Amino acid sequence: MTTPQVDPREVEFSAVRSQGAGGQNVHKVSSAAHLRFDVAASSLPDDVKVRLLAQADQRIASGGVIVIKAQEHRSLPQNQAEALARLQAMVDRAAFVPKVRRATRPTRSSQRRRLDSKTSHGKLKATRRSPPD
């Protein structure tokens, strides 16, 4: 099964100033990217939307909007691509359906083998003891 792709037309970008040290460029140029993605209004499948909103992630706001800030690079297009890649990674995680684990019981013969092994190991250790006085 292929994971659903995020449609770039459903993503809203805004340019903001980057934080931290960086010389004059950081103070003059808005090179960081804020990505906003409304999960409810997106074209993702409903089951993926539910699992995406159920993730314990601080980037998901209470209204079901994902906000990602990317400021790794010096250029706005690179930061936008980085933010879009992070969003796609979140969607990929939500699209993965974990396999349902069914509880099984050990067979009677495997239980018997385990107990026989324990008994023989105990007998071996008992032969190592010093004789009683």
Question: At which residue do the structure tokens 């026989």 appear?
Answer: 116
Please, what sign has the CA dihedral across residues 20, 34, 97, 62? positive
Q: Is 80 exposed, middle or buried (0-12, 13-18, 19+ CB in 10 A)?
A: buried
**pLDDT at residue 124 in the model:** 95
In a domain, 52, yes or no: yes
CATH of the domain at 83: 3.30.160.20
| Domain-embedded: residue 3 | no
Considering the domain boundaries, does residue 131 fall inside one? no
Looking at the domain assignment, is residue 28 inside a domain? yes
Q: What is the mean pLDDT of each run of 10 residues along the chain (133 residues)?
A: 80 83 71 87 87 85 87 88 92 88 95 97 93 77
Task: Output the pLDDT for position 98.
Answer: 83
Q: Token pair for residue 12? A: 């809203």
How many structural domains does the chain have? Answer: 1
- Residue 75 belongs to a domain: yes
Residue 58 to residue 66: CA distance in whole angstroms? 9
Q: What is the pLDDT of residue 101?
A: 92
Q: Is residue 102, in this structure, part of any structural domain at all?
A: no
Tell whether 113 is covered by a domain.
no
Rounded CA separation 54/93 (Å): 11
